[in-house]
Structure 1
Amino acid sequence: METNVDKTVATLLHEHALMLRAVREMRLALLQGSIGDACKALDTLQRLHAAHIAVEEAHWIVRLGPGARWQPKVYLAEHAKLEQMILDWRRRLTADDRLVVEPLDRLELLDASLPLQHLLEHHFEREEKGLFVEINA
């Protein structure tokens, strides 16, 4: 069994894919108006993200040298921002656990979810081009 210290780049990349899939599932549920299904997908994202950043912060980011492309504070700030966005979505969805019927309401929810998706994608790209490359060099 792989421990937190032993996580490889391949494992971390797989976790990125799983988190992006969870966001996609959340967005599909929002498109369908199913707040319950969106909450389930968000639960998955929150669980994956918490475990993922715990490993990165304890075993990867701390190993970055002073000449790193992006300093540790950049990764840590993005982790904190993503955690906050996930919590904000949790509050938003648990405040309204019904089926959303109106198409415009569904579209509003779908549009509101884009910043979370975009930040995840941007952050993962930064890790894949910076952190993972520099630590393995």
Structure 2
Amino acid sequence: MIDHITIKVSHLQKSINFYEKALAPLGYKRFEGNFDGAAGFGKEGTEDSSGHIWMFEEGNLKNLSMVHVAFTAEDENMVKAFYLAALSAGGKDNGSPGLRPEYGEKYFGAFVLDPDGNNIEATSNNFFG
């Protein structure tokens, strides 16, 4: 189990706006408080930091590195809701919702690029068609 993931972003507030909307269908909320130039998101009701994502603004754009982060969704409807929310928040399509048999028989996922070009995915292995 991954405890948390940290990514560097070029513009913190722009990324906060994107992730607040994109992750809402997956049950993620932004952590309240002042985190000194950082922002964090986690699942509602989690007591530990498992699966949390943190972002820090990086002034030097050459120091940004693109990542692929996949968030677990309960079912294909949640994957679709993530995809639509991420697009409406300014994300760019990188793979519309659908089965990905190359990853697994019931692997249903959608991919969106965040404002910095990170590949953000929602996936469910509970596809029942």
Larger radius of gyration between Structure 1 and Structure 2: 1
TM over 0.5: no
TM-score by length of structure 2 reads 0.23
Choose between structure 1 and 2 for higher RCO, CA contacts under 8 A separated by at least 6 residues: 1
Choose between structure 1 and 2: higher helix proportion: 1
Choose between structure 1 and 2: higher strand proportion: 2
